[in-house]
Structure formats: C-alpha cells, structure tokens
Chain A
C-alpha cells in the first residue's frame, strides 16, 4: 500500500560522523595535550596550523633569501670583499647567478667562488679607475684662497 508521508522512525540521520571527525583529528595526532584527542579543541588547533602554514609558505622565500645573503657575505669576507661590492660588481660584469647559486657554490665549490670574488675585485678596481679619470683638474677652476680687500 502507498503511504503519503514517511513513518516516524524513518529520519535523516548522520551516519558518518566518525569519519568526519577523523578527517580533522588525523592532522592533530602529533599535537601536545588534549588537542590531539578531543575534537572541539583539535578543530581550533588544526585551523590555526593550516593558516600558519599558508602564511609561512610566503615567508619562507624571504627567510631563505636572507640566509643566502648571510652565507655569501661570510664567504666573500674570507676573500677580502664586502657583500655589496661583490654583488654589484658581479652584476656589472654581466654574470647573472642568483643568490641561491652563489651560496651553493661558496659551500661546495670554493675554487669557483674564489674566481668569482677575483672577478668582482678586478671589475671594482676598473670601475674606480674609470671614475677617477686622468687626475687633472677641470679648466677654469682654481682652488687657492681669494682675498677680498
């Protein structure tokens, strides 16, 4: 026989609550305290963890670049150059290695790094000589003290 409305014991009930809870708890298993067991505390911790990891992915790039710069600075100070002089002179000599590569070369290929430092030093000296010019004073200008009487 056809019934027009459903029986009272036929309801829509949530059957996979266990798996929905496990989906969140699986990311919290290595946390400390009750937040690795209790769902209510775990939800908040897991949400914060995800948000922190998204923000950290953007900051990792900044952090790694600062690390490379520190390493390059340490390595080029061993060869008697400072970091700004090294990088600017390398770029002026049209060598386009990025900081990650130069840091790796400084760690694993010391001879190559020494040759890069020598290249930068030579380009620096050539730059100074080009800027100083001939050493003559420009015409029409005198630099002795003028007495007004």
Chain B
C-alpha cells in the first residue's frame, strides 16, 4: 500500500527498551553504585534537604539561617530527616519524594539564636491622614551542617 501523509501519525515513533534487558541493566547499575558507596569512592557529598518549610542545598561545613525559632539549645546536634536528593561527583540518588532514613544521615549543630535586623512595615494612604509604622524583628537560628553520610543499602 502506498504511503501517504496520513499513514503514520505526525509525532515521532518512540520505542522503549526491552523491559527484561532494562531490569538487568538497572540491577547491574545498582550493584555498581552500592559497591562505590561501600568502598567510599566519592568526594564531597551534597544533599537537598526539606527543613523549616524550605528546601536547602547543603554540603558539609556550611551554614544555614532559618527565620524562626528552633526548640533546641545552642550546641545541640540535630539530625535532618527529610532528604530529597543526595549526590556526589559520579552518582546522584533521587528520592521519590524522600530518601530512606537508613540510606542518608545529615547531622547539624545549632550555633546561634539571634534576632533579625529591624524591618520596617509602613502603610500610607495619601490625602487620607492614614499612616501606620511597625518594626518587625524575627527570631533567627543558625545551623552548621556537620556531616552527610550515605550507607550502601540500595536494592
């Protein structure tokens, strides 16, 4: 039968790879990454952590400042649990949406608890004799991320 413009659909035909072969390839890859983690062949790890309703991209030895109060004294060690992504130079582990607690461990210390600089909130309507001025001072907490560790328990 002759080929016309309507024989095949206008979008490009896409073929997915064979599921059996793909499963084998995935298992091999998982084994390789597990071995890499177990032998410690990674440099600096970075992690994406969900904390204080914000997402942070953190590495070891870096500082984080939150705009609220944390119920922990200065010097307390804290474990950040909601980890979305962990990566090194050669591999990344993407969580759907979170990674397991037996896979990653992120430790942080509370360094200081201060207040923010006085922010001025002012409202003014012209010709209506209406103005209000309010000074807002938010409590802030500074955390230092100590370590990010991963354990070879992928499957």
Contacts and interface: CB of A to CB of B under 8 A. Distances in A.
Is this pair of chains taken from one and the same complex?
yes
Contact of B97 (A94, A109, A111): A94
A51 B16 contact: no
Interface in B90-135: 92, 94-97, 119-124, 131, 133
Interface stretch (A6-14, A34-42, A78-86, A122-130): A122-130
A15 interface: no
20 contacts: A47-B122, A48-B124, A50-B122, A51-B124, A54-B120, A54-B122, A57-B119, A95-B84, A95-B95, A97-B48, A97-B84, A98-B55, A101-B55, A104-B57, A109-B92, A112-B92, A115-B92, A125-B14, A128-B14, A129-B16
B148 interface: no
Contacts of B48: 97, 101, 105
Contacts of A119: 94
A111 to B, nearest CB: 7
Interface residues of A, number: 28
Interface of B is mostly: strand
Interface size class of B (residues with CB under 8 A): 20 to 34
Nearest to A135: B9
Contacts, number: 64
A59 interface: no
Nearest 8 pairs between A and B by C-beta?
Answer: A50-B122, A96-B97, A94-B96, A112-B92, A101-B55, A125-B14, A51-B124, A50-B120
Given A50-B120, A50-B133, A105-B57, A95 B14 contact: no
Given A50-B133, A128-B14, A129-B16, A93 B96 contact: yes
Interface of A is mostly: helix
Given A97-B84, A128-B14, A129-B16, A111 B92 contact: yes
B142 interface: no
Nearest to B97: A96
B55 A95 contact: no
Contacts of A96: 84, 97
